[in-house]
A and B are shown apart, each in its own frame.
Chain A
């Protein structure tokens, strides 16, 4: 055969399947959008309460481009989330580690942790606003509170639940406590800690929104509330979809970070680091 390309029927079949499936996704999505739009136009869905896709797009254009009102609020919310998350998760991780290393403290702290876990922490929002007043301080305090818990519990768990066999190995090699900490406890705890941080970031976003719902001054949460009150549902939905995008970016971003930091838990990471280390140690 003079043709340089090899013909693989299995491969082309799979490619066809992939394309067929993608097409079906698109068809389903478009059908939903079209029926939604039509329902709105013919009055089946009251456009006052259930905005049509076209009106949502229209509002999106207005708030993003024409009047560009949303950017200020977007940055306001994101700024809060970032600051609150950083503060809350660092505090949670640090405290989790400290409590993890101290079994006495851990025993006495247990009932309070159970009570704290049962309480919807976000419920403290009005209290904090009343105590600290309106403004960014109380908002950040709320965010810190909601995103403290997951890193705390996860770091605590990671530090406490060290693999027994590995611990015995280190002891048989006469490792010092510091070495055990640095070379065993920390790497072992990293995957669980990352999981905690991911939960915290998600909670931080929700916390920011609740704070803004109550304070109603600025930020995406306030915007959604105000638009809804004015029955400008289209703009409200535009903001909600903005949050979907943000949420998706956060999800993907954290997943990427997770795969890089806890590289040994996924195949791609293993391959990548393996080649990296092989290259570093030439001449073996």
Chain B
């Protein structure tokens, strides 16, 4: 994700609840105001409800999907699973190839052209082929998600591993560290920030892959649901389903932010302080 959202996430975690309320109030007020204008515009036919439904209709649809009939949970789960599984597979392959490329210059050189070709081809073009190969079920969605998220993760991980800090490596060598130790204790941790940046992009891309594959051919998933509602011209439900995709996106993003924050702790001031504290406590306990 971009700088905007990461910053926002970080800022928000440091502010106490009371102040947060006052910060959020004007935003909330604006939101309600916009909703009211929108509702009135549709009611007075300024905006055709066929093209853009009224907020009340969308809310009604949300209530139906999430509470009354609860149809959304199953599809939500399916799409979520597709995105996460596809992401895991794509990320695993990407990391293995990236580590291999970082360790072996010839390996990198000879798979480079194929990686470039894969990057340059719009992955979405492969959708029908992947569906033909993996069938109409979840398999094809997972496959497309994996294919789409492979390259960003590969490139970012590789870049992270390739950026070598000569001074630090000299330090390690002067302390007598074997090459494998230099890799695990220096290059891997140094690569973590870029690695997580790649993961964040990959996650977003995997979700896109899952959804697009669902558009083409599927029976279950929020993509299918949205497609169906759209073609029934049930715009309100369609938008309500779209919002559930946003929800999936937000969950995935903030999960990754959380992992990033905890694992790459040295990049965030607040986290640095708390990790430092924790280590001090642990040390005191040991020394006692």
Direct contact of A and B (CB under 8 A): yes
Q: Which residues does A use to contact B, with CB under 8 Å?
A: 21, 24-25, 28, 49, 108, 110-111, 113-115, 117-120, 122-127, 129-132, 153, 156-157, 202, 205-206, 209-210, 213-214, 220-221, 224-225, 227-229, 231, 233, 236-237, 239-240, 243-244, 247-248, 250-251
Does B136 reach chain A (CB closer than 8 Å)?
no
Residues of B within 8 A of A153 (CB): 2, 4
Which residue from chain A places its CB closest to the CB of B123 in the assembled complex? A206
The answer to whether A228 and B122 touch (CB under 8 A), given A120-B204, A130-B233, is no
Which residue from chain B places its CB closest to the CB of A48 in the assembled complex? B132
Task: Please determine whether B129 and A244 come into contact, CB atoms closer than 8 angstroms.
Answer: no
Q: List the 5 closest A-B pairs by CB distance, nearest first.
A: A118-B249, A126-B230, A228-B128, A130-B230, A247-B120
> In the assembly, what is the distance between CA of A233 and CA of B120, in Å?
21
Which B residues between 244 and 282 are near A, CB-CB below 8 angstroms?
A: 245-246, 249-250, 253
Residues of A within 8 A of B233 (CB): 130
Task: Please determine whether B125 and A122 come into contact, CB atoms closer than 8 angstroms.
Answer: no
Task: Please determine whether B216 and A225 come into contact, CB atoms closer than 8 angstroms.
Answer: yes
> In the assembly, what is the distance between CA of A27 and CA of B227, in Å?
46
Task: Please determine whether A157 and B3 come into contact, CB atoms closer than 8 angstroms.
Answer: yes
Interface residue count on the B side (C-beta < 8 Å) = 52
Residues of B within 8 A of A126 (CB): 215, 226-227, 230-231, 238
Give the number of A-B contacts (CB < 8 Å).
140
- Binary contact readout B213-235 vs A (1 if CB under 8 angstroms, 0 otherwise): 00110000001001100110101
Query: What distance in Å separates the Cβ of A213 from its nearest Cβ neighbour in chain B?
Result: 6
Which residue from chain A places its CB closest to the CB of B9 in the assembled complex? A114
Which B residues between 113 and 158 are near A, CB-CB below 8 angstroms?
A: 113, 117, 120-129, 131-133
Which residue from chain A places its CB closest to the CB of B27 in the assembled complex? A111
Task: Please determine whether A21 and B109 come into contact, CB atoms closer than 8 angstroms.
Answer: yes
Between A21, A130, A213, A233, the greatest number of chain B beta carbons within 10 A of the residue's beta carbon is seen for A130
Task: Please determine whether B238 and A130 come into contact, CB atoms closer than 8 angstroms.
Answer: yes
Task: Please determine whether B52 and A131 come into contact, CB atoms closer than 8 angstroms.
Answer: yes
- Binary contact readout B40-62 vs A (1 if CB under 8 angstroms, 0 otherwise): 00000000001110000000000
Residues of B within 8 A of A205 (CB): 122
Which residue from chain A places its CB closest to the CB of B28 in the assembled complex? A111
Residues of B within 8 A of A122 (CB): 208, 211-212
User: Which single member of B4, B128, B131, B249 contacts A119 (CB below 8 Å)?
Assistant: B249
Residues of B within 8 A of A130 (CB): 230-231, 233, 235, 238
Which residue from chain A places its CB closest to the CB of B109 in the assembled complex? A21
Task: Please determine whether A209 and B122 come into contact, CB atoms closer than 8 angstroms.
Answer: yes
The answer to whether A228 and B131 touch (CB under 8 A), given A108-B30, A117-B5, A202-B122, is yes
Task: Please determine whether A244 and B120 come into contact, CB atoms closer than 8 angstroms.
Answer: yes
User: Which single member of B113, B133, B235 contacts A131 (CB below 8 Å)?
Assistant: B235
Residues of B within 8 A of A220 (CB): 125
> In the assembly, what is the distance between CA of A114 and CA of B257, in Å?
13
Task: Please determine whether B231 and A244 come into contact, CB atoms closer than 8 angstroms.
Answer: no
Residues of A within 8 A of B238 (CB): 126-127, 130
Residues of B within 8 A of A21 (CB): 109
The answer to whether A225 and B128 touch (CB under 8 A), given A117-B2, A126-B230, is yes
